Each structure stands twice: as structure tokens, then as C-alpha cells.
Structure 1
Amino acid sequence: MKKAKKLLSLILVSILCLQYPIYTVSADTTINNIETNIEKGIEEQAPENVEIENVSVDITTQEVTVDASLDESSVNLDISLDPDTNYNQLTMTVNEDSADETYDVFFGSEEQKKLYDEALEKDNKLLSEIESTLPTEIINNTIELDDSDNIITETVEEQLTGNELEIDKLINNESFVISDVTTLENTPVILTNTQTNEDIVVESTDGVASWAFAIPIGIVLSKALISSLLYWGSAVVIGGVLGIALSKVSTDSRVRNKNYSHYKVVEWSGKLFSTGGISQKSAIARMAANGNVWSTTKAKAKTVASSASLLKKGKKTPIGPEKDKGKSGYYMHYHTNPRSKSKGHSFYGTPS
């Protein structure tokens, strides 16, 4: 049984590795063609004794699944974005012999993950403390939109003032940012079992024979998925975790989790990226801690800014909405009132 599983694993890794270059195609290649080519290639190149029952690739929703069986062994992998997780957006679920195992996928070294985990722990502690101080009236605060709101203009420097949360500080270190396919391929992958918290470290130079069954397939799929997003400028790996371009999140509801109206936002190289959905309570706490957030509507964004302002003992009516003067690709947003209460921004809408 174990030999059959390892053989199946190695065969599928070989197949998927052969298909990997399909992702790095010319810009005029349609997404449908890429998905079809990958699915067809996996099925056609599978040896006769390996049954490929189902292959599904959906780049738009960032999901890749594959079912395969060899003798009595079978495996199903599902690679997808999952903003519900507290740790990361990218998860890998392995369905093997009716037992599911889910892993958070981290791109980076063990040292980088250690620094990330420490920063995450500090941020979570700070945000939890802020959330615990939120009175009910602030949490339920709803601001009526005033049609007389004046749109104020500001400079680029004012709009993208850096955050002070620990994880956001890591972005200033170039070694924590992966924005191209080549760097991704040469980067280790760390899978964290969400049930046991155990890490599986796979160096880019490791041989597949040393990996657990199904793990190499998932890593190849994960890297192929992220590579496609990096190639089209739709994502960046920040501090080891995936950030989806806010321009994609804000304009395509299919990449948003329907359970959330607010999203964490980080800035890198003059662009904004979303690293997952959060509750209204968490959005208020994040902005109060000098962080950036994006909301699905103007009213929700105004409520977050107003609540953060009240929490910092400012005025109920936030400053804004504002937009950058004479620039494209920037978002309408609100500030606390006075704005000195927080460096954070409450963004909404699509890039102008």
C-alpha cells in the first residue's frame, strides 16, 4: 500500500511538473485555454495504471483540484484561497483514505516563518486587546451617509503612509517579498498542519522521494497557482503569505469570501494587497492600530473610520471621503477625525 502511494505521488509530481511551464505563457493567452491545457495535459500524460478521475483548474477563483488513484490508493487535493483561516489565505486540503488534512501554505525559510509567527502573535495580542475595549455602541455604530460629503484631495504620500503593525513592518524587508516566478521556484515551502500545528519543511532542492505522500502534488499545484497570479500581477507573496491585489478583490466579487464585508490591506511598492477578510470589529481594531482596511461599501468604510475615531477619543464624523489628486489607481477612503488619531485608512470602492 505504501509503495503504491509513493509511486502514485511520484508519477503525479512528474506529470504536474511537466505542465508547470504552461502557466508562463504570453499575455494574450486566455485563461480558459490555460485551464484546458493543464487539465488535458495531466489526463493525457498519466500512465495507464494511474486513473485520473477528475482534474479541475479555475484560475479566476484560484482553485485547483485533482483526483487520482493507483490500485487501492487514492488522493484528492484542493488548493484554494480561504480567508476564513486566521493564519493565511492559501490552504491545501488533502483527502486521503477518507481522512482530511488541511495545511496552511507558507513560502519562505524557517527563520522567516519564525519572524512572521512572532510578529503575528504580537499583532493578534494587540488587536485582541483593542477589540476587548470596544463598547457595544461603537461596535454597532452606523453612520448615515451625507450627500453633502465633500471629496477632499490629498497627495500620494498621505494616502500610502506606512502601517505600524508588526507584520506590515516585515514588508519593508525585500527578502520577505516574492513578486516573480523565478524567486518563488527557489523558495522553500512550509506546510503547517492546522490540526496539529506541525510544520513540514520542503526546501526547493529537496527530492520528491523524501516527501510524504500527496504533499509534493500539493506543493506543485500551489506554486503553479501562485505563479499564474504573480505572472499577471494579481498577487504578491508578502512575509511568506499570499496577498491578492486589491484591484482584483475590489472589482471581482468571485475572489471575495461572502462572509466578510471588510478586508485587511497591506501596501507594497506603491500597490495595495488584501491578505484576507475580517469582521467589522476586527476592521475597527485594525484601523485604530494604524492599519489599513477595505470595505465593500462606502457606508461600511465610513462606519469603520468613525468607530476607530471614537475609540481613539476622536470625533464621530470621520474625515473624507478622500482621493488622490490627479492620479489613477487610487481608492476613495476615510480617516479618523482628527487624522492624527490613526495612520490607517478605510478604503472602499474600486481604483479610480
Structure 2
Amino acid sequence: MQDVIIIGAGPCGLSAAIECGRRGLSTHIIEKHCLVHSIYLYPTHMQFFSTAELLEIGDVPFPSPNEKPFRYEALSYYRKVADHYDLSISQYEEALSVERQPDHSFVVHTVDRSGQKHQYEARNVVISTGYFDHPNYIGTPGEDLDKVTHYFREAHPYTGMNVAIIGGSNSAVDAAMELIRVGANIHMVYRGEEVSENIKPWVRPVFEAMVKKGKIEVHVQSKVTEIRESSITIQDKDGHTTEIDNDFVLALTGFRPDRKLLASCGVELDGDMEKPLFNPETMESNVPGLYVAGVIASGRNANEVFIETGRKHGGLIAEHIAAVRASQQ
């Protein structure tokens, strides 16, 4: 019987484990993939929007020679933090369900990558799962073709190719800037009037210059209506359609958190945004003893919670669990 089972080994899950451990609570982390898998899935050469100090957890300094650290630095940092605190983590083991017991404890059912099933007992559970397993599909005919991906890792495979980017966020702009370097022919298709106002300030002027030079063709207030093996069709706001040659489609339309674990244990979701009900002062859900941390606490807008805010959830959770335990002794 653990004091706390934490589902998800992202920065926010690691922070929760550290804070619980500091208060003498026994903890174990269950992770479906590898440590900080969401960061691993970021583009290979991605640079964070945040400074290193805003990504720190457990009072462990994040040394970086860069004002804004890169993905590879974050992977190294979070590995070192997990080692420093000797966190107990089961990697490549998926949590399937969380069951509340008559004595108000929990049983977490899991399966590892060999298909072996396990179960863990805990007095409290923290759900800190991310969202990169669940892309927002656009529902366009042809989206299931092999040429379409919702993940961009690096530009090399697209050297000299005709590439369409669907989206206008930082991920879409970053991908376009990398694709320029390998000589790709780039069409960016975005339903908004202009690319996101949240584009990294040091990237935006360079991006706009590349658009003016014709290195990137941007189709705003437009959408891709069909994807075929060698072309795509773009429709503008007036309903006019254009067919262009295409080799690959990067559908960078964001991701959404998975709610199945929350639903399995009775957590209520608020309205169309599917935001779990929880106390923001403790992060405890409507199910006593079950907490949320990180992006899972947001609604469908996964940009509502970032590492720099979600990392603080662990302290709130640990304080509340410790206080409840003290009151019961």
C-alpha cells in the first residue's frame, strides 16, 4: 500500500513525486512511455519559450548556456532530477483504470509492454498524464494516408519535397523555419486570419521575412478539404478551391488530454471543455483522495497549463495529503 501512486512521469508528475517524498509519503510513478515522454516527442531541435529557471523542479538548478534551453537540455535535466531524488518509476507500463475501494483507498490496474497485468494499491492517486498520444484530427478525407503526420521531429526527411503544414501555432512556424533549411516547398494552411499572436518573439520577424521572400506560402482563413497521394485541395473563406502538388502533410493542429482514467474513477468533467472538477487550492478532484496535476487539469485547450505552472501543482497536492494524514492520526 503506497501513500501515493502518480500516473505520468512528465515534469509535473515528477514534481508531485518529489514534493510528496519530501513530506514522508511513499510514492510510485507509473509511466506509459519513457521518462518525460511529452518532451521527447518535441521536435529534435526545439527551443523552449520559457527560461531554464521556470522549468526547474525539486529545487534542482537547471544549468544552461542558453537564455531559452533546448529540448535535449531538458531531457538531460529531468533525467538527472529523477536520479537525484531516486524516484520509483515503472516505465513502459500503462495505467488502464483506477478503482475506488470501500475503505476509500484505490487500486490502479496496469499492463506492461509484454502484456503482463499488474495492480497497485494506494491511499491517494495523482493523475498527471499528458496529451501527446491524442492529436486533434481535422477530419479531412485522406488524413489517414501514410504521408500525413501529426508530429514533426526534424526537417531532413522532407528535403526538396512539397510539404503542407496545417496550423498556425508555434509548432507550425518552427516546422516551417526548419523546412526552409532543407529546401522544402512549403504551403502553410491556417483557418485564422493570421498566424498565432503567441509566436515566439524572436522567431516571428524571421518567419515574416521568409513569407515576404516567398520561401513560405501562407494560406490564411483557409482549410485543407482533401488529401490525396500526390496533391491536396485548399479552400479559402470564399469557397474557392485550389489543388496543389504535395508529397507530405504535417497536420500540426494540437493535442488533447485523455480523459479515460478520470472517467474510470468517477471524476466529473465540466461541460463541453471536459475540464475535470477539482479544488484549485489542493488539486483534489470531486473524488476524495484523487488529484490532478499538469495539463490534465485543463480543458480541451491544452495550452492552459504549461510546465512553469503545472510544476507547482505537486506542492499543493503534497501539502493537502500530508495535512489529511496528520488529521487522521
TM-score, structure 2 normalization: 0.23
Relative contact order higher in (CA < 8 Å, ≥ 6 apart): 2
Structure number having the greater helix percentage:
1
